[in-house]
Chains A and B, each alone.
Chain A
Amino acid sequence: MADIEMEIDGKVVSAKVGEMLIKVTDREGVSVPRFCYHKKLSVAASCRMCLVDVEGAPKPQPACSTPVAQGMKVHTQNDKAKASQKAVMEFLLINHPLDCPICDQGGECELQDVAVEYGSDVSHFSEGKRIVSDSDIGALIQTDMTRCIHCTRCVRFGLEIAGMMEMGGTGRGEHLKIEPFLREGIQSELSGNMIDVCPVGALTSKPFRYELRSWQMNSIPSIARHDLVGSNLFVQTYKGKVKRIASADNDWINETWISDRDRFSYEGLTHKNRLLKPQIKVQGQWKQVSWKVALDYAVKGLNSHVLKHKKANQLGGLVSSTATMEELYLLKKILTEVGCDNIDHRLNIKNLDNIITLDSNIKLDALEKIDYALIVGANIRLEQPMINHRLRKATKKGADIDVLNVMEFDFNYPLNAENITAPNKIASTLAGVLKSIMTNNVQELPNYLATIEVDEVANNIAVKLLNSSSSVIILGEHIINNEDASAIANLATIIAQSTNSKTLNLSITANTIAANLVGFVPQNSGMDVNTMLASEMRGFILLDIYPQHDFHHLETVVKAFTPDDTFVISLNSFKDDIITGYSDVILPIASVYETSGTQFNVNNDMQSYTAAVKAPDEVKPAWKILKVMADLLELPGFHYADSTQVLAEISHQPHTKHTHDGHINFTNKHNGIGVIWQNSPYSIDAVLRHSSTLQKTKIGQMNSACMNQASAEILGLSNNDKYLGVPVVITDTVADDCVFINTNHAINIQEQA
């Protein structure tokens, strides 16, 4: 677009032809009041607050919907502009309650702010004010619709961003009411953003209701730690407690949105099950002790069970993917120093010879510019809400999206083809895609493709990939334990290379990339997690592990940790009976927002954060505990004053990088029913599982073992039964030979047995 020159309040500025005036004034730092305008939403031009005087126009013009032109002269402050702005302000206030002191939005209310500047001291309105009844719209958002100024940001958010129209404006005129349909409540996984976009106190955070005034809180920038995105956010704190989370802008990562998961998980921090003090088990009895006693006990135990006997090869270190990069590094360093190579973070993989190695080589903001995506094995909307949002934007610009899944899931955009297939057919379908592509490219076929049949599904996908100029292949969590996981990942890589496509690996989660970078995997000839669990070990150091959620086969895990002569040091944030059952020392560690650290997102963006609050009671950040343990073990090189020194040391280390080995081996002969077992979206880590409000939502309540009628008959199950402790749901949306489990419950040993 061509550049033009125009005048704003007498100052000459340059702009692009046709861009909206408000973008120009914002860029130039000229303050124009607004309510309905939001930079990430479509223009409504309905609040009329941004009216300004444009020379030559008889009426005042709204800055949000007036395209600029060469030579345009705009006055934002003259009598005409001011008169309109004051008029609109007065109209907005006549039916708005003037009870800011008791409103939850007080102090961060756009209406309040603008009223101070543009409002009048005296209201001429002496008729009765409008009162609007409220309805319960769900657990997360509190409504007070009498305060609503009908800006429709929440309505447009639903339509344009969440991809589901939930709020609407019913009635007309003065009776226009912003509300969802019926009493269904709000369901979107991004719904909390409505709180952020609402300029007034009509939509506020329900868990935060009546807690505090915004100005009483500190606002500390931080990073969301529940998924591979690392959304930027503000942690709002008061007297050392996290009180609320608000989104922060980062156009390359989360734009201005955050998922409900990231917004409301903080509630878990104050759950009654928080571990608050160190404790040791002496002769079968748990005792709360001081840190000194606990750490001495831990070090003594390690020495007496393991190190004294020079049996470091019978010590194991396991971590969950939620650990910070610094924690991962320090634990690895301790274990390496004592001569232990048995470390692993890949807790939920059944067969570690069959793993996914797939690069992610597309940026998050580039995802919305693709013209084709193939999603394999993901309920992407709930598993990766922010990444799904980017894909949704791509579809709005015309991108086609195909899925290859074991079950139909809810998508908030139209799919080109939703291919539902059994887990054991995914590899052969992708092989068919590759064969079709190679045939098209007149390439010599490798042996493993010789007997592959190219069906219509494979052929259609191949055509799409060949004809797209910017495509991406996305691999999701459901592939992790697929019998052909490695083959699927390698096929994806080769297909991408043959079609100039990008790949995105969403089979991993949280800080897994950091775990891979610091190399928290077996070193030299060390044991992997599954080998450790099957061996007689003398000791374990377990960081943030909850076996009944993190592993598939609980019984094996508990059996490995429990023997009397196996000394187990557990670092956890939450109490748990299973953990107390096998541990010898339990050290309470800081949870999210309570520690400094570093997170790697799917784009390899390294994001460090500081602690927003001090951990409660005697709880300490894990990196500090590990450092002190190292000191007590008299290990060299642990002189860190803070975690940034740990990070500085890491950045000087060579990184381990996995690439696919090009070896493809699949038999296509697996029989029987494939089970995909997954924690439901709000149960993927300990903090989330303790976030009481999230658990009340429909997504939080997800707990089902879905299968079709044929599979149910094979397994001898019907609708009211349980499968692996999870209620059976028979639905024809699941492929043959597949059970898809989404659970918010722990695995129970008895049910397994």
Chain B
Amino acid sequence: MISTGAKKQIDAWIAKYPKDRQSSAVMQALKIVQAENGNRLNADTIQAVADYLNMPGIAAQEVATFYENYNHKKVGKYVIRFCHNISCMLNGADDLIAHLENKLGVKTDEVTSDGLISVKKVECLGACVGAPMFQINDDYFENLTIDKIDKIVDNLK
């Protein structure tokens, strides 16, 4: 359920916290395990993380459902997280999201039929002076235009 490599990564996080406070690493552990299990979590992986960190399953489930970065439904290899908060909205994010949905043939929270891309509307990502912007996996893309979006998306493989 949790690979040796993932355990090593989790252990590195555990080392940052005081002894017996390994549950502090749960947020990263869930991310790490999510990444190696098709970019989503389920009951088994959450329980495995809880067991590894010696915490109750429900406590890990609380964390996994409280924070926005965890996926509980199927997502694409690339998750485009489009900010639609105020600064992006003022700069036309809604139209750009509509364009992106059209281009990909999916609505937000859906996955393209090849499983490559899914789109999520998210709250402020803290890059307001670069609005409109989105995030693809770990990377930010700012000052988006229709042309720019087309280029970025066309390069996703």
Q: Do chains A and B touch in the complex (CB under 8 A)?
A: yes
Q: Mark B41-82, 1 if CB is under 8 A from A, else 0.
A: 001001100000000111101100110000000000000000
Measured between C-beta atoms, what is the minimum distance from B24 to chain A in Å?
17
Q: Are B59 and A168 in contact (CB under 8 A)?
A: yes
Measured between C-beta atoms, what is the minimum distance from A401 to chain B in Å?
18
Q: Are B58 and A181 in contact (CB under 8 A)?
A: yes
Residues of B within 8 A of A164 (CB): 56
- Residues A154-197 near B (CB distance < 8 A): 164-172, 180-182, 184
Q: Are A170 and B56 in contact (CB under 8 A)?
A: no
CA distance A182 to B47 in the complex (A): 10
Provide the main secondary structure of the chain B interface: helix
Contact pick for A182, options B43, B65, B66, CB 8 Å: B43
Can you identify 29 A-B contacts, CB atoms within 8 angstroms? A164-B56, A165-B56, A165-B58, A165-B59, A166-B56, A166-B58, A167-B58, A168-B56, A168-B59, A168-B61, A169-B62, A170-B58, A170-B61, A170-B62, A170-B65, A170-B66, A171-B65, A171-B66, A172-B65, A172-B66, A180-B58, A181-B46, A181-B56, A181-B61, A182-B43, A182-B47, A182-B57, A182-B61, A184-B57
Measured between C-beta atoms, what is the minimum distance from B108 to chain A in Å?
17
CA distance A745 to B42 in the complex (A): 38
In the complex, how many residues of chain A place their beta carbon closer than 8 angstroms to a beta carbon of chain B? 13
CA distance A182 to B43 in the complex (A): 7
Apart from the given pairs A168-B56, A184-B57, 8 other A-B contacts in the complex at a CB distance below 8 Å: A167-B58, A170-B61, A171-B65, A171-B66, A172-B66, A180-B58, A182-B57, A182-B61
Residues of A within 8 A of B61 (CB): 168, 170, 181-182
CA distance A180 to B57 in the complex (A): 9
Residues of B within 8 A of A168 (CB): 56, 58-59, 61-62
Most chain B Cβ neighbours within 10 Å, of A164, A169, A172, A181: A181
Measured between C-beta atoms, what is the minimum distance from A168 to chain B in Å?
4
| Closest A-B pairs by Cβ, 5 of them | A168-B58, A181-B58, A165-B56, A181-B57, A170-B65
Measured between C-beta atoms, what is the minimum distance from A138 to chain B in Å?
14
Q: Which residue of B lies closest to A168 (CB)?
A: B58
In the complex, how many residues of chain B place their beta carbon closer than 8 angstroms to a beta carbon of chain A? 11
Q: Mark A184-214, 1 if CB is under 8 A from B, else 0.
A: 1000000000000000000000000000000
Residues of B within 8 A of A182 (CB): 43, 47, 57, 61
CA distance A171 to B56 in the complex (A): 16
Chain B: residues with CB nearer than 8 A to chain A? 43, 46-47, 56-59, 61-62, 65-66
Residues of A within 8 A of B66 (CB): 170-172
CA distance A313 to B61 in the complex (A): 67
Measured between C-beta atoms, what is the minimum distance from B59 to chain A in Å?
6
Residues of B within 8 A of A166 (CB): 56, 58
Residues of B within 8 A of A167 (CB): 58
Residues of B within 8 A of A184 (CB): 57
Measured between C-beta atoms, what is the minimum distance from B68 to chain A in Å?
9
CA distance A182 to B41 in the complex (A): 13
Q: Which residue of A lies closest to B57 (CB)?
A: A181
CA distance A295 to B80 in the complex (A): 85
Residues of B within 8 A of A171 (CB): 65-66
Residues of B within 8 A of A169 (CB): 62
Q: Which residue of B lies closest to A177 (CB)?
A: B65
Measured between C-beta atoms, what is the minimum distance from A630 to chain B in Å?
57
- Residues A89-104 near B (CB distance < 8 A): none
Residues of A within 8 A of B47 (CB): 181-182
Q: Which residue of A lies closest to B66 (CB)?
A: A172
Residues of A within 8 A of B46 (CB): 181
Residues of B within 8 A of A170 (CB): 58, 61-62, 65-66
Residues of A within 8 A of B62 (CB): 168-170
Measured between C-beta atoms, what is the minimum distance from B152 to chain A in Å?
31
CA distance A741 to B93 in the complex (A): 67
Q: Which residue of B lies closest to A164 (CB)?
A: B56
Residues of A within 8 A of B65 (CB): 170-172
CA distance A169 to B61 in the complex (A): 9
CA distance A238 to B62 in the complex (A): 41
CA distance A550 to B58 in the complex (A): 40
CA distance A181 to B43 in the complex (A): 8
Residues of B within 8 A of A181 (CB): 43, 46-47, 56-58, 61
Residues of A within 8 A of B56 (CB): 164-166, 168, 181
Q: Which residue of A lies closest to B60 (CB)?
A: A181
CA distance A184 to B66 in the complex (A): 21
Measured between C-beta atoms, what is the minimum distance from B20 to chain A in Å?
10
CA distance A117 to B62 in the complex (A): 35
Measured between C-beta atoms, what is the minimum distance from B49 to chain A in Å?
12
Measured between C-beta atoms, what is the minimum distance from B46 to chain A in Å?
8
CA distance A55 to B130 in the complex (A): 47
CA distance A169 to B66 in the complex (A): 9
CA distance A184 to B61 in the complex (A): 13
CA distance A168 to B43 in the complex (A): 15
CA distance A747 to B112 in the complex (A): 63
CA distance A166 to B43 in the complex (A): 15
CA distance A497 to B124 in the complex (A): 68
Residues of A within 8 A of B59 (CB): 165, 168
Measured between C-beta atoms, what is the minimum distance from A184 to chain B in Å?
8
